[in-house]
Amino acid sequence: MEQLQSEWWRNGIIYQVYPRSFLDSNNDGIGDLNGITSKLPYIKSLGVDAVWLSPFFKSPMADFGYDVSDYRDVDPMFGDMKDFDRLIEEAHDNGLKVIIDQVYSHTSDQHAWFEESRQSRDNPKADWYVWVDTLPDGNPPNNWVSVFGGSSWKWDTRRKQYYLHNFLTEQPDLNVHNPEVQDQLLSDLRFWLDRGVDGFRLDAINFCCHNPSLADNPAKFDTLEGYGDKIPTNQYDYQWHVNDKTQPETERFLQRIREVLDEYPGTMAVGEIGDDNMIPTMTRYTTENRLHCAYSFELLSTDCDAPFIRRVVSDAKQLINEGWACWSIGNHDVPRVMTRWNKEDSPLALKEKRIALFWLMQFTLRGNTCIYQGEELGLDEAEIAFEDLQDPYGINLWPEFKGRDGCRTPMPWVASLPHAGFSSAKPWLPVPESHTARSVDVMEADRDSLLHRFRHLTEWKRAQPWLTLAELELTEDNPNVLTYIRTHNDDRYFVAINLSHETQTLQQRLQGEDLTPKGFAYTLHDGEVTLPAAGAMVIKIN
């Protein structure tokens, strides 16, 4: 029991807060730490275990905080260190763990380290970033492409060299091959641990190390005909990224991170993995005493039918059994689940039932769960006019890709207040009318709302201790229904999730204790299980 308490993250529910968009306490149109602190009782009421804060560090905000200019300070936009300390204290008083982002792949180009590094080739931090000479013809050393489009290399006139940036040009890549850089990052990790932080979400962690040979990335196809009618919008998608990220040196760095975390009992780290071979990478990163758990972009895609989910879970079997998965289906980088995983013309009632079904799926798979703010309200993806766009990713690739602003709009709290109670000033992104109609106060007043159903499901999950460690075995009774058996000691639990939009049947002669949460329909008669659209069943088998 003591081990399970210290490993709270194994079956925990993590609630992601995007600070800019949660609540504005000083009415400047931007959310802040004090706004988050004031809403900790609400977060606690959801039945979650931890709150993950997206970046609030000092930053010029070229990429909204993922371009850090000081790892040890709060950006004045969000408050100050006293505000953060108060947030930690009150979160702990509410029984909530606090997880914060750490960005080790890159910094801001305004970080003091980079400003020193770019001054010369022989200063103390000259090798803290990835610098390379030009080719004789003045071109970059290879064909590597930035995630945000264009070359990954930026020419610097002071050093007369290129620096690597896997993201924006304002986000130069740290040279994590350098032991001094690792030592500094680990020191910064301790800084936050000493302030009471319980865990870290490591952003784009597999981007930390590049192949020092600087070999080209291979093309996915020899000719454009290989793409058929699905020619990518982003240059990044034309390559297999085997040399610009996911190198063995990253795994050794993760072991060093784990050594520090092990000095602080009860702390954890979850890694964000974006890779061409995500599941094997996640498995390596969560074994051999590295990360505690990891999530990938597999379930952040547009696919959500049973065959796709079954394949992802099947591919992740080694991860599930030897490492640990964090099941994330929505966050600040992808369109909202309500829009992405529902048919546009589906009735609202069915859409809401499917959202609850996705939660049940996350809760009953082996691993922990990450929920993005507003998912408990069923917020849809916001349509943002081009003139209101803030995300450079979307601005660069408009109109085929509209960026990430549609999932980052302010949290709606009170329908009758300006900007749904987020702020009395004009918010940094507009609040859609469809979100105002689903404000927290509206959902609180409706006992049948999705918000109350989320609370019921988290309460149900807490009453099922077997979910933490039970092994998982996939079955395939109907291709449109995700089915699996969880086994713990001598107990067996059968789970069926109808991910289709139509009624489905299973041939199952089941006897046992019905553990299905309230609100999920099924019938069992003469060896046949009938599941309506968004239906589910959970049974402890005799």
The count of C-alpha atoms lying within 13 angstroms of the C-alpha of 179, restricted to the half-sphere facing its C-beta, is: 0
- Asked if 101 and 199 touch (Cβ cutoff 8 Å), the reply is no
Give domain 2-106+178-462's CATH superfamily.
Answer: Glycosidases (3.20.20.80)
**Type of residue at 258:** R
- Asked if 338 and 355 touch (Cβ cutoff 8 Å), the reply is yes
At the topology level, CATH places domain 471-541 in: Immunoglobulin-like (2.60.40)
Name every residue whose Cβ is closer than 8 Å to that of residue 299 and which is 6 or more positions away in sequence: 309, 312, 327, 328, 329
Structural domain boundaries in the chain: 2-106+178-462, 471-541
Give me the phi and psi of 167, to 5 degrees please. -125, -125
Total residue length of the chain: 542
Percent helix, strand, coil in the chain, to 5, is: 35, 20, 50
SS3 string, 147-163, reads: CCCCECEEEECCCCEEE
Return the beta strands (E) in 310-457 as ranges. 326-328, 368-372
Predicted pLDDT at 2: 45
Predicted pLDDT at 6: 77
- Asked if 131 and 159 touch (Cβ cutoff 8 Å), the reply is yes
161-164: strand order across its sheet? 131-132, 161-164, 153-156
Predicted pLDDT at 393: 86
Task: Give how far the C-alpha of residue 49 lies from the chain's centroid of Cα atoms, to the nearest Å.
Answer: 16
Predicted pLDDT at 454: 98
What does the pLDDT profile of the chain (542 residues) look like in tens digits?
444 567 999 999 999 999 999 999 999 999 999 999 999 999 999 999 999 999 999 999 999 999 999 999 999 999 999 999 999 999 999 999 999 999 999 999 999 999 999 999 999 999 999 999 999 999 999 999 999 999 999 999 999 999 999 999 999 999 999 999 999 999 999 999 999 999 999 999 999 999 999 999 999 999 999 999 989 999 999 999 999 999 999 999 999 999 999 999 999 999 999 999 998 999 999 999 999 999 878 899 999 999 999 999 999 888 888 889 999 999 999 999 999 999 999 999 999 999 999 999 999 999 999 999 999 999 999 999 999 999 988 888 888 888 999 999 999 999 999 999 999 999 999 999 999 999 999 999 999 999 999 999 999 999 999 999 899 999 998 999 999 999 999 999 999 999 999 999 999 888 899 999 999 999 999 989 999 999 999 999 99
Separation of alpha carbons 354 and 523, rounded Å: 18
Predicted pLDDT at 103: 98
Q: Which residues are catalytic?
A: 203, 263
Closest CA to 72 of 119, 19, 112, 128: 112
Separation of alpha carbons 88 and 281, rounded Å: 32
